[in-house]
Every structure is written in C-alpha cells, then in structure tokens.
Amino acid sequence: MNRDQTIRGRQMTKKTMRRGAVGAISVALLGGALAMTPAQADEPTFAVTTSDSSVAVGDEVTVTVAAENVQDVFAYELALDFDPAVLSYEADSASTDVTGSTYASVQGDDLVVLHTKLGTSPAAKGDVSLVSATFTARKAGTATLAVPSLKLVGTGGEARTVEVEGASVAVDRIAAPTAVTAPKVSGSPQVGKVLAVSPGTWSVKGVSTRVQWLRNGKAIAGATRSTYRLAPADFRAAISARVTASKADHADGTAVAKAISVTRKAVSRTGVKVPGSVKAKATFKARVSVKASGVSPKGTIRVYVGGRLVKKNVKVSNGTATVWLRVAKKGRSAVRFVYVPQSGVEGSHRTVKVRVR
C-alpha cells in the first residue's frame, strides 16, 4: 500500500466505526503481528496544531493532530472537538501520512477518526500526522480545538489512552469596506436650516449605513439621521457627518464628510399684543412672541417707554414672554420691545402705540 491514505466518505455511527476498527485490528493480529518495538528514550508527545493562528471569515485553516517520538502505533481512535458555529469541516478533507485504512466522519461537535493498519504492515513510529483536516471559518470568534481522548493500539493489541495538547484559532471579521465616493454634506450654513448627508459609495456591495453628525469633530447627541437641523450652538462651528458602513462578518468602515462652517444666524421676528387702551398709572399686560425659522428662541426682552428703559431681562421661554407695564402719562405712548437673543440668533424688536386715558 502506498502512503496515500484511503478516506472513506460514508457516514458511520461511532459504535459502527469502533466495531470496524476492532475487526481490522483482530485481522492484523491473526495474520501475525510484528513484535513490540522497544521504547526510545524520548517520551512521545501529542498536540493539535493549526496552519494559521488567525484567519478571516471565509478563509480555510488546516488542523492537524500531530504525534512525535511514537513507537508501535498499529491503530488509533480520536475525536477532534471543534465549534461548528465558528468552523465548518470540509467534507472528505481528512487525511493522514500513516499507511492503512482511515475512517472519518463528523458526529455532533466532533470529527471522529479511526485508523488501522492491516495484516503484517509495520506499526507507525517517529513523528507522524494522525489526521489533518480542512475547516472553513464561518463566523468571527475564537475556535477551541481539543482532543479529549486519543486511544492508541500497539502491534500486540495493547491499548492506551494519551493526553493531547489543544490549540485555538482566532477568526477575525473580513476587512472593513472603504468609501469609494466620500459622503457629502449639503444645505445652507444658517442656524435653523436643515443639512443632509449622502451615504457615499462603498467598496463592498450590500452595506447598511448609519450616520453621526459632528460639531467641531465631536458627536452631537441624538443627531443620527441623514438630515440635521442646525441649532444655535452650531453658529461659527464646523459641522460634518461620519458615515459608518456595516455588513455581516465584516469590520465596520467609516468615512467623514467634509465639514461646512455655519456662518449665518437665524433671523428672528418679534410680535407684541397689548390692550387697545389702558388707564393712566394702571398695570397692563403685554404678550411678546419671538419666532425664528427652525429654532425655539431663547433670550430676554427689554422694554422702553418714550425712549426710557423700564424693563429688562424678562426671560423668553419657548418663544414667548409676558411683561407687566404701567404708563403714567395720558395720550398715545410709544412702547418698544427689544429681543436680546441667545448666540446664533439675530435680535429683533417691535414698537407699538398704546393709548393711555
């Protein structure tokens, strides 16, 4: 028999495979086995090795159960434990450099291997590969590879179980997609206006994208849609957007759109409602409203009667303020309401005539 092993692809239960191995070993013993070889000074060692310590999803990795310094191995049985969620066994890929007959099948989370020599074939000795099998990485993670049980049978039929050093292989995500066309921010750089960002195009098809708007390079809380309305805090800031491209089994790719500078304030308008006429020295109420497109204005109101400041620092809340006034002089008085804005909003004012009787 040449050194190429015979792999039989039929699926066998573990019990059936064991019976086949025992039968083969019995035939070998009846045919006249060789005498047991004396042990060498070096103790045999057994270990699981991998062709790569880390691979990416979709890559193949060869897993080998290797033996060194062995003497008189006529048959063996092993179960290679692996994580089928992370690695998948490539059918009929199991092989060995030990001559004889090999039976391999996947049973649950194990690749079960039975091997035996036949007739008067010499037992294996020295450094040998008990099995080498190909696996494909299915999912990112760490795959632990172990052989909890390895049974060796000598020429004379004596059996022993040995320990095997395990191994692991890290499965990384596929390289991140890159932006072929960069995302782009469009819109008017004025407080209260709406900006939009395009997702760009990516080197990998079928990606999903998500957005994070940035102010001077830092994330704006809650700004994760493809559009963003400029707030007063954005005045004189550089606004950009970071687009993240995602796809299963890939690392995330990111690209940042070129920033635009917000150079214009929101335009405000002040409105006032007062009674048609009031009594001299009587207190009356003025309702002030401040509006600005896309912004809920904040700030304060100052009031001037006949050019004299009579009220200041009246707080504007949700775009409105209430001012209580009293005018002593009868006749028609000019009352001026001045909106002192927050940053990013232009000020405005309104003058009304009040008839005092």
Q: Which two tokens stand for residue 185?
A: 């921010």
The yes-or-no verdict on residue 94 having pLDDT over 70 is: yes
Residue with tokens 């995302």: 183
Q: For the residues 168-196, what does the mean pLDDT come to? A: 97
- For residues 30 and 187, the model is more confident at 187
Residue 314 dihedral angles phi and psi, to the nearest 5°: -80, 120
Determine the pLDDT at residue 1: 38
Looking at 8-17, 104-113, 114-123, 236-245, which range is the least confident one?
8-17
Structural domains in the chain?
A: 6-172 (2.60.40.680), 179-261 (2.60.40.2700), 268-356 (2.60.40.10)
Q: What angle do CA 244, 246, 251 make, to 5 degrees?
A: 100
pTM score above 0.75? no
pLDDT of 13 above 50: no
Taking the C-alpha atoms of residue 113 and residue 170, their distance in angstroms, rounded to an integer, is: 24
Burial class (CB in 10 A: 0-12, 13-18, 19+), 258: exposed
Q: What percent of the chain has pLDDT over 90?
A: 81
8-31 mean pLDDT: 36
10 Å Cβ neighbour count for 229?
Answer: 16
**Cα–Cα distance measured from residue 5 to residue 73, given in angstroms and rounded to the nearest whole number:** 16
Q: What is the pLDDT of residues 261-309, one digit of tens each?
A: 999 999 999 999 999 889 998 999 999 999 999 999 999 999 999 899 9
pLDDT of 21-71, one tens digit each? 434 433 333 333 333 344 445 899 999 999 999 999 999 999 999 999 999
